[in-house]
Structure 1
Amino acid sequence: MSPRQLAWRSRAARLSQSLADLVFVVLLAIAVVLAGWLVARHDQAWDLSGAGLNRLSEESEAVLAQVTGPLRIQVFVDPGRPLARSVARHLAPFRQALPDLILEYRDPRLFPEEARAAGVTRIGEMRVEYQGRGETVTELSEAAVTAAIRQLVGGSLDAPRWIAVIEGHGERSLAGGEGRDLDRFARALRERGYRLRPLDLALEGAVPENADLVLLTAPAIAPFPGEVAHLIDYLDRGGRLLWLMDPDQATGLEPLAGYLGIATRPGVIVDVAAEELGLAGPGVAVIADYPDHPLTVGLTRASWMPGALALKTDVGPDWTLETALTTGPNSWNETGPLRGVLTPDAALGEQRGPLPVLLALSRPDPVGGADRQRVVVAGDGDFLSNVHLDAGHHRDLGIRIVHWLTAQDGRVAVARAAPTGPAIDLSTRERLLIGVGALAGAPALFLFVGLVVRWQRGRDDP
């Protein structure tokens, strides 16, 4: 082959390679444009966290499934502030579940009239509107937003439920910030659409007719006999009751216990399983195994009740024991001081577990209603207190109890499990290495690969 032919073939090969490179670049650009077009019109997200922290709970998804029209959320915050970005992150799962969700930001300093009309008093609060009705959300959480949407969607299960909370005798406070109080549990109930009302029977004289549930915690001073009679009268009318006992509660509630047929064992529960969970003090009742009941279905983590009374299962003749939460076999009701080496002594009335610490009772409605009357009695109220609410399944168990008592079993959802893996804690050096690697390492790698390809092509050229 002549030199002229060889030169022509070399130029043809280079031209063919250049055309191939050009076609590749054009096709790559078209693919990128098409991918961007598809992403813009078909948004999709995946939650890769082990605990499902970036997706909505089953309860929220069930509520959103009832939304059939446009839903609008107005966030009263300056769109340029970091708080607006935090709100956007919290609402991202809602936007993913409802593509037609209208999300608007309003700076209350620029739109004060709109903020006042929405009942907004603080920056960052939201107004949820649906079919001409609205609810103001004062807390940035999934539960609070879901509760507002539930109220707007309506339905038989979503009608507001009133809980009368007995006070006036040193009971646990709904508004107190002390560890023993129930402020955080009350807030969780309000987030789910419940309305809580303090009730002093010495002043009111009776439980209101519209009360769907009475919450009774351990009194520090004995109630008057007439007040206990009002509670019994409420139960005679088919009322529902959640009674949180305590070992140090005042006397005076014996007639109510007799009405229900509730009796307790002496002392407080000591449980060897508490030490295995790393809990301080021996006087803790551990609930590790849950019965197959709407109160507990899907619960897997252990819960515990500090200083709990052991209940007897011989309830009143009119009542049926629906289910009971019990301790394990390595527990007993300790009647002596909780110090030193503790062992059960049958001669002192100390009985080995399992010991019931929570009883769920029911009976036919005494006034002829279609639903059965329901009562829950717990041998401890600390598990729902401010200091213990987020431990174990305490929050979820408390909400399930209230749902079951108010005949809203359909709203009981399996709570997402808390993260069980170790937290990632990077040092300053590790963060620096990751940052430098992302900013310089990856581009340097691509450059190196490109140079190697270029060098290889140069070797192949004649």
Structure 2
Amino acid sequence: MRASHALSMLLIVVVAVLAGLLSQRFSASWDWTHGNRNTLTAASQRVVDALDEEAISFTAYIYPGPRRDRVRTRLARYTRASDNVELTFADPARHPEQVRALGIGDDGAVQISYRGRHETITAFDEANVTAALQRLSASGDQWIVFLGGHGERAPDDETNGGYSELAAALDGQGMTTRTLRLADAAAIPDNTAVLVIASPQQSLLPGEVDMIRDYVAGGGAVLWADDPGERYGLSPLATELGVRWAEGTLIYPDYRKLGTGHPAIALVANYPDTPITERLNRLSVFPFAGALAPREDSGWRQAAFLRSSTRSWLETGPIEGDSLTFEPDAGDRRGPQTLGLALMRERAGRDTPQRAAVVADSDFMANGHIDTLGNRTLALSLFQWLAGRDAQIAVDVARAPDASLQMTPAHIRWLWWLFVVVAPLALVALGTIRWWLRRRR
């Protein structure tokens, strides 16, 4: 019995020692959460993989306790994703000089370092961490320049029609935004990565148009997002880019089934195979959009990256009410229609081709629509491509699918009837029935 007992104890000790050795030498993890919530998204994984020249260092200035454990759990997905990521913790009480220099508060912060550059963040979700990595990977001296002075959509405009949300998203991707009024400038800045022309409402001066054409002729990248109607002096630019604006507004007859609320809200569900859209898998929405057509012999390689469905049409008449009908005799044109054109051409003395893009809608990037379905990812992918950051295209981290609630007017009416009428009547009926049953007893 003693020998058997001793052998059992020896086996237990051996198993415990082996388990300890294995836990120190080998590491394995599995993510069984819905949607792999504890694993980096493919977009973030591409960002981490691209930063392979030096180690990515995370230094977390967090006091010991439960908050440090939560931060460790969130950042562990990055250390699991790459051996190139290092995570260390520092007690703020023991490093007062660094804490003061970084402006760290009581809640703590994480400093991310790469190639001698640093970013400090206080929100540790994947979107913020990946955005910081994006900023570290960018050169930081290239601007996204928005044309201003003619009623264009502005990056500092916080109304529904403004572009402040887009500007914040671009900043999160390491792209600096600026507004330029050509009347006050001698030329477009040399460090302009992309010139944005977003739906001017007043005519540009001939000299301003010439400056834009000179910028394009010199190899500059441009994004022209405009709506149906007048071009306000930019017709020469359309000729320079080799595009034509078709007359009319895109109509979707199935808007009631889809719950968009208006027939002139166009949807794009299937994307052509282009670098801009190859990783997009969500619908995008384009309110009151127009259509484009390429010009032959323009010198550009033109590819449609946004096209409407076959059931849509281009309405050339006035958009009044919701009872529109397709009338080819009146000039209406059946879909699919092109909403977005990507343009490329070779330039002498340059290793990479010049890029430009034209979109027949400016609303899809506005504050009121950028967070609708896949619009944000599409907009960021478009800017990444134009800026030549192909490795970072579509790296906008997808938000949780249950983070927002969008209801159609029909849903709101149904809920009103349910909670304001049906539910109270049901309670009254239930109480009446119980009262009647008790009286019968």
1:391 is aligned to 372
Structure 2 gaps of 5+ residues are: 405-441
Query: What is the aligned residue count?
Result: 401
1:444 is aligned to none
| 1:195 and 2:176 aligned | yes
| 1:252 and 2:236 aligned | no
Q: Secondary structure at the match of 1:197?
A: strand
| 1:375 and 2:356 aligned | yes
1:51 is aligned to 35
2:278 alignment partner, one of 286, 297, 301: 297
2:243 alignment partner, one of 262, 266, 279: 262
Distance 1:78 1:44 in 2: 28
Q: Secondary structure at the match of 1:64?
A: helix
Distance 1:122 1:373 in 2: 48
Work out which of the two has the higher radius of gyration on C-alpha atoms and give 1 or 2: 1
Flag the 1:247–1:122 CA change in 2: closer, same or farther, 3 A: farther
Shift, 1:29, TM fit: 6.8
2:392 is aligned to 411
The residue correspondences of 1:211-226 to structure 2 (distance < 5 A) are 211-226=192-207
Flag the 1:250–1:325 CA change in 2: closer, same or farther, 3 A: closer
Q: Secondary structure at the match of 1:190?
A: helix
1:285 alignment partner, one of 250, 266, 277: 266
Amino acid at match of 2:290: L
Distance 2:229 2:306 in 1: 21
Task: Give me the TM-score of the superposition, normalised by structure 2.
Answer: 0.78
Shift, 1:342, TM fit: 1.3
Amino acid at match of 1:117: A
Flag the 1:239–1:122 CA change in 2: closer, same or farther, 3 A: farther
The residue correspondences of 1:63-462 to structure 2 (distance < 5 A) are 63-65=47-49, 66-67=51-52, 69-80=54-65, 82=67, 84=68, 86-98=70-82, 101-107=86-92, 113-118=97-102, 124-137=108-121, 140-149=124-133, 152=136, 161-247=142-228, 251-314=232-295, 317-334=298-315, 335-365=317-347, 368-413=349-394
1:61 is aligned to 45
Cα pair 2:199 2:227 within 8 Å, conserved:
yes
Shift, 1:32, TM fit: 5.5
Structure 1, residues 98-149: CA drift from partner, whole Å, max 9, x if none? 4661332454x87553234336589554321235442334654434433444
Amino acid at match of 2:374: H
Shift, 1:415, TM fit: 6.7
Task: Give me the TM-score of the superposition, normalised by structure 1.
Answer: 0.75
Structure 1, residues 50-98: CA drift from partner, whole Å, max 9, x if none? 533322233433343344655432344544475x555434322113234
Structure 1, residues 138-169: CA drift from partner, whole Å, max 9, x if none? 654434433444555x6xx8675321122233
The residue correspondences of 1:25-44 to structure 2 (distance < 5 A) are 27=11, 31=15, 34-35=18-19, 37-44=21-28
Distance 1:78 1:177 in 2: 37
Amino acid at match of 1:95: T
Structure 1, residues 319-341: CA drift from partner, whole Å, max 9, x if none? 23123411011111222224132
Amino acid at match of 1:299: L
Distance 1:25 1:118 in 2: 54
Amino acid at match of 2:188: V
Structure 1 gaps of 5+ residues are: 1-14, 424-462
Identity %: 32
